[in-house]
Homo-oligomer: A and B are copies of this chain.
Amino acid sequence: MLLNKIEDVRTEVEKYRKSGLKVGLVPTMGALHEGHLSLIKKAKETCDKVVVSVFVNPIQFGPSEDFDKYPRTLEADTELCNKEGVDIVFAPTPKEMYGEGNRLSNDTLTYVCPPFFYVNKLCGKTRTGHFDGVCTVVMKLFNIVQPDCAFFGQKDAQQVIIIKKMVNDLNIPIQIIQCPIVREESGLALSSRNKYLTEEGKKDALVLSEILNNIKLCYQKGITDVSALKETAYSFLTDKHELEYLELMDRDTLEEKTSADDNTIALIACRVQGVRLIDNVYLK
């Protein structure tokens, strides 16, 4: 069932809740791929009813980012969701979510702001306000759908850590379920932004997973010094790659590591053909 109105979603989900059914929410920006489908399948496994939201959220894009050209494929998305047995596809307009007029700045809109310590690093360093926008829309979706569980991919590692932190800090009564990264056979992590890449670009983009896998391998061979582990990346990079960051951090708290351990996550962001790609891997 495709719904565009907040009130219609509330009414429908209210029926589920009254019947004692367990409701799962998969928040997406659409352009669904196998990565999203893995979240949906997990939701179908663990919940009685599944809601997938499809909303390209304006307040998590910076002014120079790709909000306007971000892929929008609602018809195909809805078809995929139907095939997976999704109960509700919730695809609101920006106006439905944020009202009329210029209500998107923090001068006029209430924001949920995750802590600086989690935000002032990795993707948050270059994407100012991005995670405020993410937490705000996720909070709105949580309040609209009131699910028992919500499903997020490890692909956006900083995002899921920040959302878990938000849920904990604000006592949100929802269980966050994190699902592993889905990759092409080549190793390339699935992303809606891969659509911007040519075939050659997709080959160049393999460097992200190659660097991460190599770091993981080196760690498993006994190298723990983070500088040394990072150093191993540079042999992979060519002039096709614009590295934004490569960091080794605690996978729960995002504290920087000087010495890697079994709780360490390696995270990378790199531009290929002008497209900003991210990836990450747990060292264990």
Contacts from A to B (Cβ < 8 Å): 6, 10, 105-117, 135-136, 139-140, 143-144, 146, 165-166, 169-173
Contact = CB atoms under 8 A, between A and B. Distances in A.
A110 B115 contact: yes
Counting every copy of the chain, the complex holds 2
Contacts of A139: 170
Contact of A10 (B107, B112, B117, B173): B173
A135 B112 CA distance: 10
Contacts of A140: 169-171
A108 B113 contact: no
Given A143-B172, A144-B171, A172-B143, A110 B135 contact: yes
Contact of A110 (B6, B108, B109, B113): B113
Nearest to A103: B169
Nearest to A98: B169
A91 to B, nearest CB: 16
Given A140-B171, A146-B173, A166 B117 contact: no
B116 A113 contact: no
Contact of A115 (B108, B112, B166): B108
Contacts of A105: 115
14 contacts: A10-B173, A106-B115, A107-B115, A108-B117, A109-B169, A110-B112, A110-B115, A110-B135, A110-B169, A111-B112, A112-B113, A143-B170, A143-B172, A146-B173
A21 to B, nearest CB: 14
B112 A106 contact: no
B115 A113 contact: no
A80 B117 CA distance: 42
A143 B142 CA distance: 11
A199 B117 CA distance: 48
A109 to B, nearest CB: 6
